Amino acid sequence: MTVTIIGTSHIAAQSIAEIKNQINTQKPDFIGLELDAQRADALLHGEKKPISLATIMTIGVKGYLFAKIGQLVQRHLGSTVGIEPGAEMKTALELAREQKIPVAYIDQPIAITLRNFSKQITWKERFRFCADLLYGLLFPRRMMKKHGFSSFDLRTVPSAKLIETMMTPLRQRYPSVYKTIVEDRNTYMVRKIIHLLRAHPEKHLLVIVGAGHKKGMEELLLKVDVL
């Protein structure tokens, strides 16, 4: 099996166009998506089920708040470009259904990721997060410029160099968060890909993930010599 990894932006029109082009021209045998079954179902059906207190207690209050803040930020950014967050993943799901291409949900279940986030975030990182959040609310343009977010068009996928520029503050200021949200999920998704490779040799797998995961996943796959 050969593997092609596409790095996307969840609110970029460019990502939607690239996914359509890749699926229609490459005709992959399988498509791997940075989703779990729960998130895929919500994307396809547009259902937003209320989160129960029991669920919040399971994933942890810190994980729940992190997810809610992330959703609000993505919705705000998506509204500025007129694209619903996750539209590129929904496009891939719909095209896969139309063309009868099997889909593999390769991402770690969101409940596990958020629970690990709640457990692993340190007190220092919590204080930094509150300070950064307050600074961002008071001085949004300064915050965006500081971390490189003002230097690219939201309608396009940022370059590899710019992604690294934006990921560096996260890795330095929030090491446990970076491990939980990025590195651990990279490892999980790569294991899923390797399982597919071994189960379906001689097939072509198209993997669609957020651009921040692409480099790390490719490096992991190169270690097992599958790219």
Q: Residue 148's pLDDT is what?
A: 55
CB 201 within 8 A of CB 30: no
Check residue 56 and give its pLDDT: 84
- Residue range 11-64, pLDDT digits in tens: 888 999 999 999 999 999 999 999 999 899 988 887 667 777 787 888 888 888
pLDDT tens, per residue, the chain with 227 residues = 689 999 998 888 899 999 999 999 999 999 999 999 989 998 888 766 777 778 788 888 888 888 888 888 788 777 887 788 889 999 999 999 999 999 999 999 999 999 999 999 999 999 998 888 787 767 666 666 665 555 556 667 777 777 887 788 889 999 999 999 999 999 999 999 999 988 988 899 999 999 999 999 999 998 876 66
Q: What is the pLDDT of residue 98?
A: 95
CA angle 8, 10, 11 (to 5 degrees): 115
Given this model, what pLDDT does residue 3 score? Answer: 92
CA distance 105 to 93: 10
* Orientation of helix 110-120 relative to helix 61-81, angle to 10°: 120
Residue 77, burial from CB neighbour count under 10 angstroms (0-12, 13-18, 19+)? middle
List the one residue out of 3, 31, 27, 5 whose CA is nearest residue 194: 3
Per-residue pLDDT at 169: 84
Percent of the chain with pLDDT over 70: 89
| Domain locations along the chain | 2-223
pLDDT of residue 183: 96
> In whole angstroms, what is the distance from residue 27 CA to residue 206 CA?
9
Q: Give the CA distances from residue 181 to residues 15, 45, 114, 200, in Å, rounded to whole numbers and listed in that order.
A: 21, 25, 8, 29
Q: Which of these, 70, 67, 79, 81, lies nearest to 152 by C-alpha position?
A: 81
Residue 189 CB burial class (10 angstroms; 0-12, 13-18, ≥19): buried
Query: Does residue 60 contact residue 117 with C-beta atoms inside 8 Å?
Result: yes
